[in-house]
Amino acid sequence: MSVLVFVEGLNGEIKKSSLEAASYGNQVAKALGTSATAVAIGDVKEEALTQLGAQGISKVLFDGEQRLKQFVADAYVKVIAAAVQKEDAKVVVFSNSNIGASVGAKLAVRLNASLATNVTTLPKTEGAGFTVTRGVFSGKAFADVALTSDIKIVAIKKNSFDISSEGTGAATVESFSAGLTDADFALLPKETVMQDTSGGVLLQEAEVVVSGGRGLKGPENWHLIEDLAKELGAATACSKPVSDMDWRPHHEHVGQTGTTISPNLYIAVGISGAIQHLAGVNSSKVIVVINKDSEAPFFKAADYGIVGDAFEVVPKLIEAAKALDK
């Protein structure tokens, strides 16, 4: 019996959220008196996989099938299910990413497993129990969920767990094949859109996000958001009205009908803070709001607020950020 962790790759490297999942899986394995194994698919370099030993992963099953470099849900599920069977895994850990949420649900059906998403705690394993806490109602509340099936699948909320480096040695990488056929690739995605910052960080992976709203008055002023993000090594985002007006592409929209994020720091510039927007960002550890309207609803949710004109405040923040680098 082992704990199996699914790790996602990007440009040959392992995503930060998957390193968090690996650290989490190692801690679960220790609590259960077993070991943690990872399964990786597609575009990940072997060197990056061996470094999972730092997170306590002893072995990595790697399926390097070329067609898996593009996310195909059915094929991913088949590979992970085969890895579960090979390792006799009773706990499977994902990051609560778009891929993790999609594959986790399908895998739960395939394996007749219990599934908990958006998990924020290590499991309580007293006796034969296995209970985790997960965020519900867009992060406004928490629920304790007992997973009672033989196989348990956990998708952890990003930025909820530190990346450990307590492991010693390198993980062993083992070639692995689930015997995929053309039928497993019958449903292919038409297009995959990923938003990068100038530093190559995906919006959902970013620890810092700078976001703008209608208070920027037009796309010609968006350089303020981009310049501040560049100095902070952050991703950029926007409110729904901004994407609706085509100031910014839709994949930068964060909110109830856009991308849900949970960075360590979220800076909102010129965003009023409607409930639909808050639903996508209220899991951020620290929220900073910049708005000239002192009555803007966002201030009620903010950890720090600046009442002022964005065209005066943001340039000063950019200069301050530049000064820190000197």
Distance CA 157, CA 121 (A): 9
> In one letter, which amino acid is 191?
E
Is the CB of residue 244 less than 8 Å from the CB of residue 187?
no
Question: In this structure, what are the phi and psi dihedrals at residue 22, rounded to the nearest 5 degrees?
Answer: -65, -45
pLDDT tens digits for range 196-210: 544 456 788 889 999
pTM here is 0.83
**DSSP per position, 11-41:** TBEE-HHHHHHHHHHHHHHHHHTSEEEEEEE
Ordered domains of the chain (ranges, CATH): 2-185 (3.40.50.620), 203-324 (3.40.50.1220)
pLDDT tens digits for range 81-139: 999 999 999 999 999 988 898 899 999 999 999 999 999 999 998 877 899 999 887 77
Is the CB of residue 154 less than 8 Å from the CB of residue 131?
no
Tokens 């008196």 appear where?
33
Question: Tokens representing 70?
Answer: 């593009």
pLDDT under 70 in the chain at which residues?
190-201, 326
Provide the pLDDT for residue 191: 62
